[in-house]
Amino acid sequence: MAVKVSVVVGNPKPQSRTLKVATTLVEHLLEPGSYDLTVIDLAEYESDILVWPSDRMAALNSDVAASELVIFASPTYKATYTGLLKAFLDRYPSNGLAGVIAIPVLTGGDQSHSMGPTYNLAPLLVELGAVVPGRGFYFIASQMDRVDELVADAAAEYRANLGRLASLAVHTSQQQLRSSTADRV
């Protein structure tokens, strides 16, 4: 069965470099053919993003919450992620992303905001119930000629972190099963 993956891009510019970085991360992180990818380029939803209620936005939020892996990507605006991405994430209730593995990605002009995905975006994703498997990924936009190399390095780090979590999960699940069985006896 294929892994359900979403990429949510909060760049006001459609088909941006930020979108390219996020989709390239998915390509390097997961085996070809092992996932179904949905790309949500929020620039295409600017007229709906601040409308409450919105069936169109509710459907997008529901689709993302049903994903196993989501890449949340934004260019760096005023030292953090865009209002466009924030408005999308504000539609979730507390724990609205429970069960989702989320990777925060920011792009920027230089290293000065490189901790932004870890210190600004990751805490919001965790507050919404997502699991963030390591520090956020920051990509300097002037390095697009090296996108595959730099993203491959980040993907390797995420793969290692996810592998550690998976090996630990096997042990915690067995302990939970033993506890549940003992409680019934």
Q: What is the DSSP string of 4-34?
A: EEEEEE--SSTT-HHHHHHHHHHHHHS-TTS
Specify the pTM.
Answer: 0.90
Task: Report the pLDDT value the prediction gives residue 184, as an integer from 0 to 100.
Answer: 47
**Average pLDDT of the chain to the nearest whole number:** 88
Q: Check if the beta carbon of residue 85 is closer than 8 Å to that of residue 21.
A: no
CATH code of the domain in which 140 resides: 3.40.50.360
Domain extent for 105: 3-184
> Rounded to a whole number, what is the largest CA-CA distance in the chain?
62
Total number of domains constituting the chain: 1
pLDDT at 14 over 60: yes
Q: Check if the beta carbon of residue 7 is closer than 8 Å to that of residue 21.
A: no
Q: Cβ atoms within 10 A of the Cβ of 116, count?
A: 23
The 10s digit of each residue's pLDDT in 125-181 is 999 999 999 999 898 899 898 998 998 998 889 888 888 888 887 787 655 555 555
Q: Check if the beta carbon of residue 125 is closer than 8 Å to that of residue 143.
A: no
